[in-house]
Amino acid sequence: MSKHIEKSSIKKRITCILTIYIVFAVFVINPLTLQSQENTNSLKKLKQAIDNRVGNKLLLLEGNYQNGKRIKIDTLCFSSGNDTLKIFFSASLAEIPVREAVIQQLKDSVGRYLPDSLKTVVLQFYSNKAPLEKLVPNYYLAESGEVDESRLPQNNGLRPERKNLVVKARPYEITKGLVHSNIALWNSHGWYYEPKLNRWEWQRARLFTTLEDISPTAFVIPFIVPMLENAGATVFLPRERDWQMNEVIVDNDSSTGKSKLKKPRRTSGKSGGFAIGNIPYTDENPFEQGTFLEISEKTKRENVVYQPDFPESGEYAVSVSYAKGEGEVTYRVFHTGGTTDFKVDQRMGFGTWVYLGKFSFQKGRNKENGKVELLVPSGSGQKITADAVRFGGGMGSISRNGQLSRRARFFEGSRYYLQYSGAPDTLVWSFSKGENDYTDDYKSRGEWVNWLIGAPFGPTADRHSQGLGIPVDLSLAFHTDAGILEDDKIVGTLGIYSTTRDNGLFPDGQSKYASRDLTDLIQTQIVDDISEKYKTDWTRRGMWNSEYSESFRPNVPAMLLELLSHQNLNDVRYLLHPRYKFDVSRAIYKGMLRFLATQHNYPYIVQPLPVDHLFAEFSGENEITLKWLPVTDPLDPTAKPERYMVYQRVGDNGFDNGTLTTATELKIAFPQKGKVYSFRVTAVNGGGESFPSEEISVGISEKSKGDVLIVNGFDRVDSPKLFETASLSGVMRALDHGVAYGYDICTVGDQYDFERKSPWLDDDSPGHGASYGDLETTIFRGNTFDFAAVHGESILQAGYSFVTASDESVEEKQLDMTNYPVIDLLYGEEKTSYFPGKDSTAHFSVFTEKMLDALENYTRSGGNIFISGAYIGSDTGKDTAQVNRIGRLLKYKWRTGHAVRNVDFTSVSPMFRISGTVNTEYNLQQYPVEAPDAIEPFGTGAETILRYTENNTSAAVAANGNYKVVALGFPFECITNQSIRTKIIQQIFDYFTKD
């Protein structure tokens, strides 16, 4: 959103409100402190005039600013020369977003009530011991060139040189993003040990199928962190970021399993490095238990090779450690998608885990695509060090009173990860000397930021501690808050910052009002973006200047974000929606970008949105052409794509490092037949790289029987089903699980208390919204946008070649479907959905009018259709004409949704001899199918071919005529057995080709 639009919005929402508040507060509520009888008499007359106009009623607030705190006058006085009237308000006035235009309009409004004798008096407003002008963020002052220099980093040599700790090799340059930025960020609380109850527990209650210790993670890990990294930033977290429960460590002291370390000949071991040691840990610091390698400058060019032994195939985060070195080194990660290089500056970030990225690896030891090499330059003359490399997040390894957490480290609080990461106990994580993990946890996060930087920005207990020398730019604590409102109201977003300690200055002399700038920009971006996208008035709860640990401890501009209320069902509607998670995360990223661009005086560009309308076509014997369309962002005109990255993977391997192109299409040659190749595309500009598109898969059969077009219609991401009655309300996952964007990492279990009046007793008995905890350690698949590869694998094995197109490209007639004798309509869990808020637009409908037109045109050419999905019957709508149109076209009709709980099926037709099971479990391999459709034949020539064994309802229909159709009332990709999937495809295609 442009600055102009945002300023107008602020005027509209706040100016009238503040004018009423000020007039009422000045002239009705408080006595005046004046310096002359003449002025006293004048203002008494003014007060009487205002009384006649306003009276003693405070008008209701309008707009979406909801604070509830009383704004009053602390002091009112004239300057010594009687030329300025100074009005000192309570600190609550400083909780609003202030802009220059608002201040001027306020002065004009109040000035209209002044008598002629005071018309020349200058009005000056103060709040929280600062003039209102100081509450205008530098971002808005930058237009006039009159920024507050005190809120900028002070160039006095006290801060470390500003540069990234980690730089990933890219084929493009980010020039107007977050390059050189290091950002500290964390996702609320976590699983912790409570000595009073002698148990591990959450810091908050399980409500509405989630809880505060987990739900912010579903914003931070999948969205905020990659957005910041895609803009060029290095991001640090005080909690484990990888949910992979396996952990493999390769170290010079000892390694996991059969993992090996190959080191150069001329190395020496030095004390003070990482060692696995004896697990579980109690109060040990693993980074003081072992040694590290110091590599001599005389060493011949021999790399340090870390060869892990993986217990199973999967994705693993790669983190490295080292002691302090003298310059940059390169770590090269060999993974199933190829090799990826990272430059790491060993002059900072030493003695802890430094995250590189997450990659796909195969089970066991693999010298070609399963290792990390530290590249040792010859003749550099600089000291290079090497310590451990870690793969995966692992399980919690800190014992408290003899008890392990029995959770993946991913779920534990900061206090435990920081101990495991080498943070010193006396400075960072043991304020209570082991007596109170709860307070140690929330205090540790801000002190960890200071430890990352080091002297003179070090932890409170020792500002001159060496620390890690990382020039951290800002920190953000992401939380949700409590509170309940009636009548569909939103509790909304609160921002907290602190200027109170250390005379309001950071160690380099920078004003802590920089934290208010950061808070204002992020909160404003959230309010504006969500209000616009969801056609709602998202509530701005104000900005508190308060001494919360996570706001006052960091020695950098810091914000504590309370996004919404996890206790208020109307907020929960948004909290559980994946699209909202993406949009809020993008707003937070944009707020940080604007703040840092202002802090360091450079022009910025917002990274683009993902491309769409992606499809592939055969363009040669062993060649395809991939095409797509760019997407512009109506909320930010700078987010325009300039170039594109096309990423490729083979089979189940990881993606490669991509190919850069300026065009919206790319020709790709196939080196090998009989394999599934998958592609995804990102958009690139000077601000960074977008999120990836859906995946398009293709494959060429050795002796192809024909070509198949897979149409990917499964775009849906959605919250679970919410409902409300006069006495009951909540989240009814039994009706609809929803569909996570990627993976679900925040569901704890189904809600069981739906009584609105059910009282809160404590976190174990939280009343309305109370939920089970059976899923809280389970990460399971949602929409990963890659299911065409599953279909394609079976199509290849059945002897056919295939390409994929998005449903949007088919609807817009970007390709000719009549070139393909068979199309595979992949609808997964697609169904009509509505976003929270007041937007009445239908999203993710299975059958749009454009799609029906395209299918009718396709069948007129005699093309055959295979369609599958959980809602292909129930999403046909209530329009009888449309229902009949779909029935005539696809030869089936809806009988019931939620046909069965155990989705087992068996054939009842001689043409199809098959039985199988559809996944209903929560796992990483397939998403669970909770509501398959029962569909029945429509018209002549159609018959039931599969039935659900649970109740014998019709699970699939086949129809013969001028063209043929096979329809499955469940997602084909969720059949649990690959051989069964291939057998079904083979029988379907045999049916299509049989006369």
pLDDT in tens, 254-264: 999 999 999 98
Residue 93 vs residue 683, higher pLDDT: 683
- Tell me what the pLDDT averaged over the chain comes to: 91
Average pLDDT over residues 466-483: 96
The pLDDT score that the predictor gives to residue 36 is: 54
Q: Is the pLDDT of residue 367 over 80?
A: yes
Average pLDDT over residues 659-665: 98
Average pLDDT over residues 958-977: 97
Q: Is the pLDDT of residue 51 over 80?
A: no
Q: How many CB atoms lie within 10 A of CB 661?
A: 15
Q: Are 720 and 209 in contact (CB under 8 A)?
A: yes
Query: Per residue in 132-154, pLDDT tens?
Result: 999 999 999 987 778 999 999 99
User: Percent of the chain at pLDDT above 70?
Assistant: 92
Write down the pTM of the prediction: 0.94
Lowest mean pLDDT among 12-16, 173-177, 529-533, 576-580: 12-16
The pLDDT score that the predictor gives to residue 67 is: 64
Q: Is the pLDDT of residue 417 over 60?
A: yes
Q: What is d(CA 839, CA 855) in angstroms, rounded to the nearest whole number?
A: 29
Average pLDDT over residues 962-968: 97
Q: Are 477 and 550 in contact (CB under 8 A)?
A: yes
Angle at 540 (CA atoms; ends 539, 542), nearest 5 degrees: 150
Read off φ and ψ for residue 808, nearest 5 degrees: -65, -40
Torsion of CA 246, 249, 250, 254, to 10 degrees: -120
The pLDDT score that the predictor gives to residue 379 is: 67
User: Percent of the chain at pLDDT above 90?
Assistant: 81
Q: Are 84 and 66 in contact (CB under 8 A)?
A: no
Average pLDDT over residues 179-191: 97
CA 435 to chain centre: 34
Which residues touch 297 (CB under 8 Å, ≥6 apart)?
Answer: 379, 380, 381, 382, 383
SS (H, E, C) 648-700: EEECCCCCCCCEEECCCEEEEECCCCCCCEEEEEEEEECCEECCCCCCEEEEC
Collapse the DSSP code of 154 into the 3-class scheme (helix H, G, I; strand E, B; otherwise coil) and give the result. coil
Query: Per residue in 791-811, pLDDT tens?
Result: 999 999 999 999 999 999 999
The pLDDT score that the predictor gives to residue 957 is: 98
Lowest mean pLDDT among 353-362, 444-453, 868-877: 868-877
Collapse the DSSP code of 457 into the 3-class scheme (helix H, G, I; strand E, B; otherwise coil) and give the result. coil
DSSP conformation class of 491: -
Residue 27 vs residue 224, higher pLDDT: 224
Burial class (CB within 10 angstroms; exposed 0-12, middle 13-18, buried 19+) of 166: buried
The pLDDT score that the predictor gives to residue 591 is: 98
Question: Mind giving me the DSSP string for 697-756?
Answer: EEB--TT-S-EEEEEE-----BPPPEEE-SSBEEE-TTT---B-BSEE------B---BT
The pLDDT score that the predictor gives to residue 104 is: 84
The pLDDT score that the predictor gives to residue 877 is: 72
The pLDDT score that the predictor gives to residue 111 is: 76
Average pLDDT over residues 699-716: 96
Q: Is the pLDDT of residue 31 over 60?
A: no
CA 343 to chain centre: 25
Q: What is d(CA 461, CA 429) in angstroms, rounded to the nearest whole number?
A: 11
Query: Per residue in 750-761, pLDDT tens?
Result: 999 999 999 999
Q: Are 906 and 953 in contact (CB under 8 A)?
A: no
Q: What is d(CA 130, CA 128) in angstroms, rounded to the nearest whole number?
A: 5
The pLDDT score that the predictor gives to residue 39 is: 59
Query: Per residue in 304-347, pLDDT tens?
Result: 999 999 999 999 999 999 999 999 999 999 999 999 999 999 99
Q: Is the pLDDT of residue 553 over 50?
A: yes
Q: What is d(CA 337, CA 231) in angstroms, rounded to the nearest whole number?
A: 22
Read off φ and ψ for residue 225, nearest 5 degrees: -60, -50
